[in-house]
Amino acid sequence: MATSSAATSSIDMSTTILIRVDQSGRGGFKKIQDAIDSVPSNNSKLYFIWVKPGTYREKIVVPADKPFITISGTKASNTIITWSDGGEIFQSATFTVMASDFVGRFLTIENTYGSAGKAVALRVSANRAAFYGCRILSYQDTLLDDTGNHYYSSCYIEGATDFICGNAASLFERCHIHSLSTGNGAITAQKRVSSEENTGFTFLGCKITGVGKAVLGRPWGPYSRVVYALTYMSGLVLPQGWNDWHDYAKHTNVYYGEYKCYGPGADRSNRVAWSLSLSENEAATFLTKDTIGGRAWLRPAPSNFKRGASATIAARTDENN
């Protein structure tokens, strides 16, 4: 898990260094990756990379030695990061986050590889990462929510097969989860491997829709943990709700819970016996940001900006394009 070079408490959270990305040449950089590369290694200041509207055909990596970066569009609908790559789950991602204390805002991140195999749009392999108002699109393994504590707020996540997967501890709040599965695909494949791990996916106040039928999750790891709370479920959700991935032994170890969900897909009368209808007390731990320790690390949008990335750097970047 990536760690930051400076304690979060020592960072000035009110002021950030602003870097502009604009394909027209009016910003510091034309490419998002070039803007990321301009941030000093082991930085101890906030950097805000503002991406002007456009379609950016890039395969992006935020390296582990560059914490405290925000990458923000204005609207996800007009700020699109796109690539097409498939095959290997850890290498195919359009956008990879390895650095701690990362924030993504108002971006579309997509992998257009299609339905031929594994094709990750977003890989998050770092601690303390948050995404607000983003659209994350692919087909299989769309969001590789790999490791760390993560927060997704008002995001739209689309795919067909295991399209939210990994072993992070993540809270999805007010997100729209849309399945493209036409058969019996799974929305989640959570990979918790022991009862000692404090990982799992929580969907709080979300909306589940789709074009066919799907289950809420299946166990990538033997102690897989997923909870849906106060969430709307359309008729997409199959009556059994969950799948054991043909491994009956996992019935006694997985933690698959539902709490006060509603809609035609929330009917638990035919759910598998090894899933849980949570009581108010059992659900309480999943209903706040405390489930990811969020009160200690989630930061507000900055209010003060300082200029970064000089014109000289931008000119040098343009020459290399």
Catalytic residues: 141, 162
Please give the Cα distance from 116 to 121 (Å, whole number).
14
Please give the Cα distance from 321 to 319 (Å, whole number).
6
CA 285, 289, 293, 299: dihedral to nearest 10 degrees? -170
CA 304, 309, 311, 315: dihedral to nearest 10 degrees? -150
Please give the Cα distance from 137 to 155 (Å, whole number).
11
Per the structure block, which two tokens stand in for 254?
């997985």
Cβ atoms 84, 111 nearer than 8 A? yes
SS3 283: helix
Which residue type, as a one-letter code, is found at position 155?
Answer: C
Residues 6+ positions from 64 with CB-CB distance below 8 Å: 2, 98, 99, 100, 126
